[in-house]
Amino acid sequence: MTDTPTLPATMKALVLHSKEDLRLEERPVPAPGPGEILLAVGSVGVCGSDKHFFHEGRASSDVMTEPFVMGHEFGGRVAAVGPGVETGRIGERVAVEPLVPCGTCRSCRRGEYNVCPTQLFHGVPGAEGALQEYVVVPAGNAYPIPGEVSDDAAAMVETISVSLWASQRGEITIGDRVLVTGGGPIGLFALQVADARGAESVTVIEPQESRRLVAVRLGADTFSSLDELAAAGHPALRDGYDVLMECTGVQQVRHSGCGFVRPGGKAVFVGVGAQDASVPMPSVIEREVEIRGVMRYRFTWPTVIAGLAAGRYRADELVTRRLPLHEAHRAWTEPPAGADVKTIIRVGSSDT
């Protein structure tokens, strides 16, 4: 490790021991190995998968079998570097891509590292997350961020990346009509990404009024349900939407949403939901609606960071609650007062 006398010997870490059992513990500060950096964590975003781990002990196919630290949406400042990493990176502000592929399998060799079967992912079982004061990550996964990008926004590069990759899977382009089901952080960033890619219109379906108001402010038409959209006679319904961005994972929404896609259009499934689900075969077969899944992202970090710096993505506006690390448990145990879009845990953030 580079000689950094200011580093403490121990740190605070929020450890999930089992379902609904979060403990703030004292741990040794880890040392970065070859090709790694030690990150002083800034802000950490709370994701829906974190809530699944807390309440259910699993998120999709990731199952916890021993205590671990959550937090896969994060950034911070480089505190120390391991062998082979330039010492000039110490002090650099970065956003971290949590996905660590093997780099040698057939998927990785094809550039499809997001579907690497042996990938590690910081913040799920197998790789420690960022709800601790320091964490070691590969140096190549830490992307510099400019001064105009806040620590909170740096933490949301991961969230925006999901939406960006989903838009790329849907091949959204100029003039497209886009339907987004779900007005949480992924859906609201999907709206912004679609707009940045030149969509003619974006319609957001979201039952929570507070989230619909945010979507309206970001330029979308909004409805509380697909039934309400159908009853309203929206202009896009004449021919159907070019792309569905399904961000809820709710079976009925996913199934019904495909019926709003034009013949030959695309339905992009972002929300996970149940392990098994049905699809509307008349849409798939008779109208050739193409269904595409989304597994995290690939090669998105530079694009998202540039978009944040240019003001194309309004990340900070989506933060509705900020908590210090010692109160982070409230993100899972206490519903926020008022609007609920994005909760950020301020571990060591310099944001005001």
pLDDT band of 339, cuts 50, 70, 90 = confident
Q: Is the pLDDT of residue 1 over 60?
A: no
Percent of the chain having pLDDT more than 70? 99
Torsion of CA 105, 110, 111, 113, to 10 degrees: -30
We report the CATH number of the domain holding residue 201 as: 3.40.50.720
pLDDT, one tens digit per residue, over 133-143 is: 999 999 999 99
**Which run of H or E residues covers position 13?**
strand 10-18
Range of the domain at 201: 160-293
What pLDDT, on the 0 to 100 scale, is given for residue 5? 53
We report the CATH number of the domain holding residue 341 as: 3.90.180.10
Q: Are residues 166 and 90 in the same domain?
A: no
Model confidence, pTM = 0.95
What pLDDT, on the 0 to 100 scale, is given for residue 4? 53
pLDDT, one tens digit per residue, over 208-247 is: 999 999 999 999 999 999 999 999 989 999 999 999 999 9
pLDDT, one tens digit per residue, over 96-129 is: 999 999 999 999 999 999 999 999 999 999 999 9
Overall average pLDDT of the 314-336 stretch: 94
What pLDDT, on the 0 to 100 scale, is given for residue 6? 81
**Contacts for 302 with CB less than 8 Å, ≥ 6 apart:** 143
Tokens of 98: 């949590």
Q: Is residue 70 part of a domain?
A: yes
Q: Are residues 100 and 220 in the same domain?
A: no
Q: Is residue 4 part of a domain?
A: no
Q: Is residue 304 part of a domain?
A: no
Q: Which DSSP string corresponds to 69-101?
A: ----EEEEEEEEE-TTS-GGGTT-EEEE--EE-
